[in-house]
A and B are shown apart, each in its own frame.
Chain A
Amino acid sequence: MKEQIISILEEIRADVDFEREGQKLIDDGILDSFDIISIVSEFNDAFQVEISVEDLLPENFNTPEAMETLIKKLQQE
């Protein structure tokens, strides 16, 4: 799943190295609100989940791993 997440992220923001250690995509201001909406829309289609506005917290989008955890949680619900 992680590879697919990174491939989606890279498609939206080709200029960012998403696998760099220690970076926080939201807290460090790397992703903006437009990117977030694009990412959510792609994730919803790719993983058959419905990410809601309540899930749009920095901690859920700071790293590809956090995004993976969120998607898995939503898939289980």
Chain B
Amino acid sequence: MAVISGVFMLFVAVTALLYFLVKKEWRWVVLLIASYVFFWMNSKWLLFIMAGSSLFTYFIGRCIHKNTRTAAWILKENAAVLLPADKKSIKAEKKSKNKKFLLLGLFVNFGILLFLKYYNFFGGNFNHLMQLLGIEARARSLDLLLPLGISFYTLQAAAYLIDLYREKYAAEKSPFRFLLFMSYFPLITQGPISRYDQLAKQLYRGHEFSYERMTRGMQLILWGLMKKLIIADRIAIPVNLIFDHSSTYGGVLLLFAAMGYGIQVYTDFSGGMDIVRGVSRIFGIELAENFRQPYFSRSIEEFWRRWHITLGAWMKDYVFYPLSLSRFSKKIGKVSRKLFGSQTGKKIPTFLAMFVVYFFVGFWHGAQWKYIVYGLWNGVFIMSGILLEGRYVWLCKKLRINTETFSWRLFQIARTFLICSVGRLFSRGENLKTAFSMIKGMVWTSGRSSFANAVKGGLGLTPANWILLLLMLLLLVAVDMIHEKGISISGFLGKQNLIFRWVVYYLAILSLLIFGIYGNIQGGTGFIYQQF
């Protein structure tokens, strides 16, 4: 059951009806059943992998919790007689035991993900290496299926266990409630990657029906559908055409494809997020924000704080901080200060942690080298930005550039968008070779189709479709600009009179029906991030 399909909308309507019909204390059970039905309809028997991982994570969580509580009880009961050294030893023992539980939990969760998603990648690279070494050893390729949302719920499970280890909150008591946290249907397809302390309580509390909230949810769904069906799936036509025949196109067209894909992936992913956040809002459950107008960013570093926010936050809390503050990092810091001096030397450990983060960001997207290069492309620009910051300031002063002007801001935004777009050639291109060939083709255009010829053909879209696309992009920029100023369009609409509101809704529905690109009506349209 695809999120964009009539069946899904009916499924949401029935679930919402049942949710508000049953007693408040049982409402979370409706969500649990609905989530498992949704999962079953998408992944069939793979449901048992997800349920197994969830129960195992629940069990490990309980073990960590029990161990922490026992240590706290011993410390409290014997507070008067324990010497500081004894207290320290009890705490150290607790930490060591909890670490073993945590490592086991992470090993199983990431083990399943690594095996199902990355086995063939490692096998293929192993075979390649053996071939280069002239050794007769082959890893067999396996036909493995991925449970829906495994890349997302695995990160959720890992965050839960690490937070328990860090004693951020208490473990969930009920296994069934925990199953819901891991499988909540609006976020299982492509996130947002949610934290237990932000989501769980909302899930378990029976929410009252609210007409106002439902309307705001529907508005978000409508806007999400418009972004996905009118913009993303329309711009995908010329973008796919160029990517599929990338060797025949050259120059500006390849740059257009890269930028077009940037717009496609933004409207596809953020549109999908709007839809699931809207659905969840109907139940009274607010999901974490995943986008904050990312294309208004003035640097790649800022872009990653505004794009796929929940993945960035996960990487920051569970990879970047622990790595940056690790003993290993401190040792590297000492050595690099000696080698490169205090100023540059102290930045080296942070850069290494950053390098690891962007390696993982890339690898998380898929089991191919191109994704790793995509991650590192972003990492390299962030690192160079920090390293050369002083030089940039000096250069701006020398060239007498006023960095507080609108034009400079616009230049920074355009530069960030360009760097992001070229980087996307790695994630969207068929493989690394194609991506590099496309970058080369942007400059070296000989033997490739001319701009004029391709434009004459329309690149798969009629002139009317191009005009519509342009108008929709202007609307998108306007909406993002309004949100950037902190104004809520939903709040504004809510204050208007009934006729005005319904005219807007009808226009939105009509534009969806007339201008939406409906590929496969029965199966619905898939999302890019669903495959990651």
Most A CB contacts (10 A, CB to CB) among B316, B324, B386 go to B324
* C-alpha gap A38/B316 in the complex (Å): 14
Query: CB-CB < 8 A to B333: which residues of A?
Result: 41
Query: CB-CB < 8 A to B213: which residues of A?
Result: none
Contacts A33-B316, A34-B386 given: A53-B350 contact, CB under 8 Å?
no
- Interchain CB contact under 8 A, A33 and B321: yes
The contact of B320 among A29, A33, A38, A51, by CB within 8 Å, is A33
Does A71 sit within 8 A of B, measured CB to CB?
Answer: no
A side interface size, CB within 8 A: 14
Q: Whole-angstrom distance from the CB of B53 to the nearest CB of chain A?
A: 25
- Interchain CB contact under 8 A, A34 and B350: yes
Between A and B, how many residue pairs show CB distances below 8 Å? 32
Does A37 sit within 8 A of B, measured CB to CB?
Answer: yes
* C-alpha gap A51/B322 in the complex (Å): 11
- Determine chain B's interface SS by DSSP, over half rule: helix
Does B305 sit within 8 A of A, measured CB to CB?
Answer: yes
Query: CB-CB < 8 A to B167: which residues of A?
Result: 54
Does B301 sit within 8 A of A, measured CB to CB?
Answer: yes
- Interchain CB contact under 8 A, A53 and B321: yes
Does B166 sit within 8 A of A, measured CB to CB?
Answer: yes
- Interchain CB contact under 8 A, A37 and B321: yes
Query: CB-CB < 8 A to B322: which residues of A?
Result: 53
- Interchain CB contact under 8 A, B305 and A53: no
Does B207 sit within 8 A of A, measured CB to CB?
Answer: no
Query: CB-CB < 8 A to A41: which residues of B?
Result: 333, 346
Does B325 sit within 8 A of A, measured CB to CB?
Answer: yes
* C-alpha gap A33/B301 in the complex (Å): 10
B side interface size, CB within 8 A: 17
Most A CB contacts (10 A, CB to CB) among B301, B316, B321, B353 go to B321
Residue of A nearest to B351 (CB): A34
* C-alpha gap A54/B162 in the complex (Å): 10
Q: Whole-angstrom distance from the CB of A61 to the nearest CB of chain B?
A: 12
B149-181 with Cβ < 8 A to chain A = 166-168
* C-alpha gap A37/B305 in the complex (Å): 16
The contact of B321 among A29, A32, A38, A56, by CB within 8 Å, is A56
- Interchain CB contact under 8 A, B325 and A52: yes
- Interchain CB contact under 8 A, A40 and B350: no
- Interchain CB contact under 8 A, B324 and A37: yes
A-B residue pairs in contact (CB < 8 Å), sample of 15: A29-B305, A32-B305, A33-B316, A33-B320, A37-B321, A37-B325, A37-B353, A38-B350, A40-B325, A41-B333, A52-B325, A53-B322, A54-B167, A56-B317, A56-B321
Which of A's residues lie within 8 Å of B, judged by CB?
29, 32-34, 36-38, 40-41, 51-54, 56
Across the A-B interface, the 10 shortest Cβ-Cβ residue pairs: A54-B166, A37-B324, A53-B322, A53-B321, A33-B316, A56-B321, A53-B325, A37-B350, A33-B320, A34-B350
Seed contacts A37-B321, A53-B325; 6 additional CB < 8 Å A-B pairs: A33-B316, A37-B324, A37-B350, A41-B333, A53-B321, A54-B167
